[in-house]
Amino acid sequence: MFPLPALVIYTLFVVYPIFSAFLYSLYDWNGIKRGVFVGLQNFITLFTVEPFNEMFWNAFRHNVFYFVVEMIVQNGIAFGLAFLIYRKIRGSGFLKIAYFMPRLLSVIVIGFLWKLILHPNYGALNTFLGKIGLEEWARPWLGDPDTALLAIILINCWFGIGFAMLIFLAGLQSIPEDLIEAARLDGATGWRMLWKMILPLCMPAITIMTIFTFIQAFEAFELVYAMQGSMGEPFYSTDTLAVYFYRMAFSSGAGDVTLGLGSALAVVLFFIVGSVSALSLYLMRKREVQH
Amino acid sequence: MKQFRLRYVASMVLAAVMVVTGCSSGGTETESGGGQSGGQQVTLSMHSWRVEDTEGYKAIIKAFEADNPNIKIDFKPFKATEYNTILNTALQSDSGPDILQLRPYAPGITLAEAGHLEPLDNVPGISTIPKDVLAAATGKDGKVYGVPLSLNSTQFYYNKKIFEQNGLQAPKSWDELIATAKTLKEKGIVPISFGAKEGWLLSLSHGVIAPASYNGTDYLDKLLKGESDLKSAEFLQSVQRMQALIPYFPENYVGLELNDMRTLFATEKAAMFINGSFELEGIKKLNPDLPLDFFPMPTDDGKQVLTTWVDGSYAVNAKSKHKAEALKFMEFMATKKFGELFANQFKRISAVPGVSTDDPLVNKMAELSQTSATPYLMVVNFAEGKPTTKQTLENALQGMYLGKLIPEQVVEEVQKSAATWFPPFKK
Amino acid sequence: MKMTVGGRAVSYVLAYLFALIALYPIVLMISSSLKTNMEIFASPLSLPKTFSLDTYKKLWEAVPFADFLWNSVFVSGMSVMLITVFSAMAAFYLSRFSFKWTGGLYFFFIIGLMIPIKLGIVPLFLLMKNLGLMNSLWSLILIYTASGIPISVFILTGFFRTLPIELEEAARIDGCSHFQVFWRVLLPLIRPALATVIIINFIHAWNDFFFPLIFIQEETLKTIPVGMMVLFGEYETDWSLLFAGLTLSALPMIVVFLMASRQFMEGLTAGAVK
């Protein structure tokens, strides 16, 4: 009886709609009108016909880049900050709240604020660079294809650091004191201690955060959409798989809706995210059992 | 069996939840009219993507309601970028508003072809609207599915005061345009307020500049018959000219959006601004005292043309429960009375012929759109394909401004996209 | 572990520098909302010269903000309540009973973590229409509840597993039923984890703009983010008004967070990763 309410609501409003949407991928669609059953044709088109395949791999590469940068920057910094707080720092209560603050804002707010900060002509960042004599570094961050994606990802890191920091802090605090004490008596210090002792013992937290980051990176949509539109502008340089899906499933008003291909992409996306995260969860479980 | 049970349990849980939390069953749907007794009041819902027009529509609807006391219209605007998502989702589920704003040409006609729209051929007054205007809402079956609202035109706006101060006049040829821009730049004024961050503004600007190279409609006739293509010298030149204007754009123009461009022009930091008739109101709101004028595009054979197309139309949902009333509103939209209300309320060119406004600039646009119009090619003829040829041009132009593509590659991509669907090219 | 003085100084500089980066845009938002439009353009970075709430008054008159606020509170509050109760019940079951199917059931819930629910928007729309929930706040509550269940079950199951089983046994000897054990004994013990679940889901429901966009058309039923989107369209050049809107839309969330932050931090650090 206990799991029933959760099960019913979840099945009805998450699982059922998603799987019906998956069925759409097996039909031919003329705009938003369903045509005949075509089997796997939409999947074949998605991977073999230009420009669909080019767009897929372009967006896929961006998702991978998203993941890599978030792992290094967001999770790297978050771990560093968690470590500082773990080592007792004055004002840690305030710091934890401050780091988490960005997470409270809606994407609409975040998009608007950062667009303003990064504005090429009167944004705070370029103004600041000008004041410290680095004018030549100033650029139209969101209009330049070389920096736009990175800028978006870094904003996402800014958004996510607080949460990641708390997860890592939880990992650090769950390490038994006596283990560390014992290692110290053995003469382990500084980096060696961090590398050989602390990191391995934090593996559960790190694995969880890696999975979260992976899911987030491969479903990246809202920030790109709010700041660069459904075309992943400029020049498709910020396109991601989810934005590409949105474009095909809903279009921006230009009449390029193709729901069959959009649904096929959704299925592919689900399998990418599902298989990778299921595999890492499984590996984590297995390792835990061995411990 | 199992499925049935699941549904049964689900509905039980839902019912329980609602009882517990004191929610009245049946939701809050407000189905008015129909069989209601008494005053037979009918409320029609009307959706649009023009959030900025809300106040104006209220005035127009009031005029309609005064003549039709039984009908109330509930106008709901949505943000343009989300409008299609909302509309398509609703139409696919056989619901949606009674009256809806329809995108012009191919994107809107798709909805008619999917069977979501009511044909409007029998609406009185619709025949007074010219055929080429109705074309924006005419399906492949020859039926009309929308009452066009207004004509849009795109042009170079310019600041009269800045031009006079520097001894300049509206250019009469491409070379004069470049010379004008050069003079302004030497004086330290941004010649053209322009930004490349939003793709749709790129195809819009191309729509203004390109007809200079087409020399009117000769090239277009050949193009639409498939006797020429988008890699022709004319089209290539139009893209090269987009590139030739780069020195006269503001600093960091690749990062600027419409808001920035409008502000630069309205605050008199820039002398020219390529945009549509629909921007007139926005510019004036920002700076009511701006000495504003516009010039049509001078062509290479010494004429002047104004790029025009039909903006959205209004259509009736085929699944509407109040079709008769909705059609009444369509009838109203085709009258001169509506045309005048609309034109004065929004300072736009009405689709109903012979309507004039109290704004001289709008009247000048309306006049030119009768005498020397040229179509906005990408919207009128090339808004199909996945992605559309129009989007392909926008993206490729963005690439050009970012130094990733040269004009020859731009036209190559555009032609490649059109070749996938444009019937004359498929022969 | 001892740090050198230099090392300590560097850690403090880094830790507070990142706090500054995290807070700067929020401070910018609030300070800009107190400025006039001219001030924002002329000196975007400085603090406001005079303190004035005029913009807020204007905002209050321009949009039915009180309606938006109530809708957001109702939707977020109700969803969070349902999520918390239902997920706690499911998590209790998953962590305390081991039938053949509990492993599978757990996995079934976890799959939800990997599904972007936007993919199913069209079938979802049909479903809501058939249930008569179009233009009703209940459509949003059901969606947020459903999509919040996976992560909540995940967190709470993890937490329940850390609780010693002896407590329940003692209670059961005293004659408590399963439900009483759950309600009286266990729920109070998992308060920190509940705080985590509440905050995470509250943030999600409060800030979402996609579903209200699709399901809510009535002006007076809109939630804050969608109401703000309309504001952006209508007043796109009135920056101080927009900033005031942004501030007002974020403020309730910030207040709730500050109130629950201690429990929340404790919950995350005590149970989430076990």
pLDDT tens per residue, range B268-297 = 999 999 999 988 888 888 889 999 999 999
Whether residue B232 sits in one domain with residue B161: yes
pLDDT at B128: 87
Cβ-Cβ contacts under 8 Å, C138 against chain B? 18, 23, 27
Query: Which residue among C117, C145, C274 places its CB closest to the CB of A18?
Result: C117
A96 touching chain C per CB within 8 A: yes
Decide which of A44 and C187 is more confident: A44
pLDDT band at C2 (very low <50, low <70, confident <90, very high): low
C72 touching chain A per CB within 8 A: no
Q: What is the pLDDT of residues B31-74, one digit of tens each?
A: 333 344 345 789 999 999 888 788 889 989 999 999 999 999 99
Whether residue B160 sits in one domain with residue B144: no
Sign of CA dihedral A222, A225, A228, A234: positive
Round the average pLDDT of chain C to a whole number and report it: 84
pLDDT at A255: 58
Does the pLDDT at position A280 exceed 50? yes
Secondary structure (3-state) at A141: coil
Q: Do C132 and B286 touch (CB under 8 A)?
A: no
Q: What is the pLDDT of residues A211-250, one digit of tens each?
A: 889 999 998 998 998 899 888 889 999 999 999 988 888 7
High-pLDDT (> 70) share of chain A, %: 95
Dist. CA B210–CA B379, nearest whole Å:
13
High-pLDDT (> 70) share of chain C, %: 93
Average pLDDT over residues C216-236: 80
Q: Do B29 and C136 touch (CB under 8 A)?
A: yes
Average pLDDT over residues B344-352: 85
Query: Which residue among B114, B385, B399 places its CB closest to the CB of A235?
Result: B399
What is the least distance, in Å, from the CA of C222 to any CA of chain A? 15
Does the pLDDT at position A22 exceed 60? yes
Average pLDDT over residues A47-54: 91
pLDDT at A32: 67
B113 touching chain A per CB within 8 A: yes
Whether residue B411 sits in one domain with residue B263: yes
Whether residue B70 sits in one domain with residue B126: yes
Q: Do C237 and B263 touch (CB under 8 A)?
A: yes
High-pLDDT (> 90) share of chain C, %: 24
Cβ-Cβ contacts under 8 Å, B286 against chain C? 237
Residue A277 CB neighbours (<10 A): 20
Chain B residues interacting with chain C (CB cutoff of 8 angstroms): 14, 17-18, 21, 23, 26-30, 45, 51-52, 54, 76-80, 82, 85-86, 89-90, 92-93, 95, 259, 262-263, 282, 285-286
Whether residue B315 sits in one domain with residue B305: no
Decide which of C234 and C98 is more confident: C98
Nearest to B332 by CA among B124, B120, B71: B124
Whether residue B297 sits in one domain with residue B167: yes
Kindly report which listed range (A85-89, A153-157, B365-369, C50-54) carries the lowest average pLDDT score: C50-54
pLDDT at A251: 65
State which of A72-76, B335-339, C26-30, C110-114 shows the largest mean pLDDT: A72-76
Residue of A1, A11, A32, A233 to mutate for B, most B C-beta atoms under 10 A: A32
A256 touching chain B per CB within 8 A: yes
Q: Do C236 and B259 touch (CB under 8 A)?
A: yes
Number of domains in chain B: 2
- Binding partners of A (≥3 Cβ pairs within 8 A): B, C
Does the pLDDT at position C141 exceed 90? yes
Kindly report which listed range (A66-80, B412-426, C56-70) carries the lowest average pLDDT score: C56-70
Q: B–C: how many Cβ contacts below 8 A?
A: 66
Give me the sheet containing B71-77, strands edge to edge.
B71-77, B42-48, B99-102, B313-316, B147-148
Q: Do B256 and A253 touch (CB under 8 A)?
A: no
Q: What is the pLDDT of residues C54-65, one digit of tens each?
A: 888 888 887 888
The answer to whether position B339 is within a domain reads no
Dist. CA B406–CA B47, nearest whole Å:
41
Q: Do A2 and C178 touch (CB under 8 A)?
A: yes
- Binding partners of C (≥3 Cβ pairs within 8 A): A, B
Whether residue B422 sits in one domain with residue B282: yes
Dist. CA A272–CA A259, nearest whole Å:
20
Average pLDDT over residues A66-73: 97
Nearest to C25 by CA among C265, C246, C239: C246
Whether residue B191 sits in one domain with residue B138: no
The answer to whether position B3 is within a domain reads no
Q: Do A85 and C15 touch (CB under 8 A)?
A: yes
Does the pLDDT at position C232 exceed 80? no
A275 touching chain C per CB within 8 A: no
Q: Is A78 left (phi over 0), alpha (psi -120 to 50) or beta?
A: alpha
Does the pLDDT at position A91 exceed 70? yes
What is the least distance, in Å, from the CA of C114 to any CA of chain A? 6
The total number of residues written for chain C in this structure: 274
- The residues spanned by each domain of chain A are 21-290
Question: C27 and A104 in contact (C-beta within 8 Å)?
Answer: no
Average pLDDT over residues A30-41: 82
Does the pLDDT at position B399 exceed 90? yes
C78 touching chain A per CB within 8 A: no
Query: What domain range includes position B136?
Result: 42-149+311-334
The answer to whether position B359 is within a domain reads no
A101 touching chain B per CB within 8 A: no
Q: Do B260 and A253 touch (CB under 8 A)?
A: no
Q: What is the pLDDT of residues B201-240, one digit of tens each?
A: 999 999 999 999 987 677 888 999 999 999 999 999 999 9
Dist. CA A278–CA A275, nearest whole Å:
5
pLDDT at B236: 96
Q: Do B52 and C233 touch (CB under 8 A)?
A: yes
Q: Quick one: C107 exposed, middle or buried, by C-beta within 10 A (0-12, 13-18, 19+)?
A: exposed
The answer to whether position B236 is within a domain reads yes
Residue A116 CB neighbours (<10 A): 21
Residue of B17, B254, B392 to mutate for A, most A C-beta atoms under 10 A: B254
Domains of chain C with CATH codes: 56-271 (1.10.3720.10)
Whether residue B190 sits in one domain with residue B92: no
Q: Do C131 and B79 touch (CB under 8 A)?
A: no
What is the least distance, in Å, from the CA of B304 to any CA of chain C? 33
pLDDT at A197: 81
The domain over range A21-290 is classified in CATH as 1.10.3720.10: yes
pLDDT at B155: 95
pLDDT at B120: 93
Does the pLDDT at position C255 exceed 50? yes
Question: B410 and B237 in contact (C-beta within 8 Å)?
Answer: no
Query: Which residue among C116, C209, C272 places its CB closest to the CB of A242?
Result: C116
pLDDT band at B15 (very low <50, low <70, confident <90, very high): very low
Q: Do C249 and A109 touch (CB under 8 A)?
A: yes
The answer to whether position B9 is within a domain reads no
Cβ-Cβ contacts under 8 Å, C133 against chain B? 27
pLDDT at C3: 61
Q: Do A234 and B197 touch (CB under 8 A)?
A: yes
Residue A12 CB neighbours (<10 A): 22
Average pLDDT over residues C184-191: 80
Query: Which residue among C122, C134, C213 places its CB closest to the CB of B29?
Result: C134
Question: B25 and C133 in contact (C-beta within 8 Å)?
Answer: no
Residue of B49, B252, B382, B417 to mutate for A, most A C-beta atoms under 10 A: B252
- Binding partners of B (≥3 Cβ pairs within 8 A): A, C
Measure CA B338 to chain center.
Answer: 19
A71, amino acid identity: M
Question: A256 and A29 in contact (C-beta within 8 Å)?
Answer: no
Average pLDDT over residues B196-205: 93
Round the average pLDDT of chain B to a whole number and report it: 86
pLDDT at C44: 67
pLDDT at A254: 55
Round the average pLDDT of chain A to a whole number and report it: 88
pLDDT band at A253 (very low <50, low <70, confident <90, very high): low
A103 touching chain C per CB within 8 A: yes
Average pLDDT over residues B407-411: 96
Q: Do A103 and C203 touch (CB under 8 A)?
A: yes
Q: Which chain A residue is nearest to residue B383, measuring alpha carbons?
A: A254
pLDDT band at C274 (very low <50, low <70, confident <90, very high): very low
Whether residue B207 sits in one domain with residue B79: no
The total number of residues written for chain A in this structure: 291
Whether residue B302 sits in one domain with residue B176: yes
Cβ-Cβ contacts under 8 Å, B95 against chain C? 129, 134
DSSP output for B284-331 = HHH-TT--EEEEPEEPTTS-EEEEEEE--EEEEBTT-S-HHHHHHHHH
Residue of C115, C143, C151 to mutate for A, most A C-beta atoms under 10 A: C115
Nearest to C191 by CA among C256, C141, C262: C262
CATH of the domain at B197: 3.40.190.10
pLDDT at B31: 39
Dist. CA B385–CA C129, nearest whole Å:
32
Dist. CA A81–CA C180, nearest whole Å:
42
Whether residue B165 sits in one domain with residue B78: no
Q: What is the pLDDT of residues C80-97, one digit of tens each?
A: 999 999 999 999 899 888
